[in-house]
């Protein structure tokens, strides 16, 4: 339930609503860091927009 609420909030408010120190620590605990995850999000958004 929390993941769904977070996804909806994030989609509505965008990454600027998050504290920068939290954004800087984004990772999948593997090889994907903040920049790669942000690019994945941008690509997903373009798929929906097109």
- 50 residues of the chain, pLDDT tens digit each: 888 888 888 788 887 888 888 878 888 888 888 888 889 888 988 888 86
Give pTM, 2 decimals.
0.53
Q: How high is the pLDDT of residue 16?
A: 83
Integer angstrom CA distances of residue 28 from 23, 33, 48, 49, 50: 12, 7, 23, 25, 27
Integer angstrom CA distances of residue 15 from 3, 29, 37: 16, 19, 12
Q: How high is the pLDDT of residue 5?
A: 87
């Amino acid at each position: 339930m929390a993941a769904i609420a977070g996804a909806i909030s994030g989609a509505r408010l965008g990454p600027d609503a998050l504290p920068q120190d939290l954004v800087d620590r984004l990772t999948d605990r593997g090889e994907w860091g903040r920049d790669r995850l942000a690019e994945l999000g941008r690509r997903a958004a373009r798929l929906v927009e097109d």
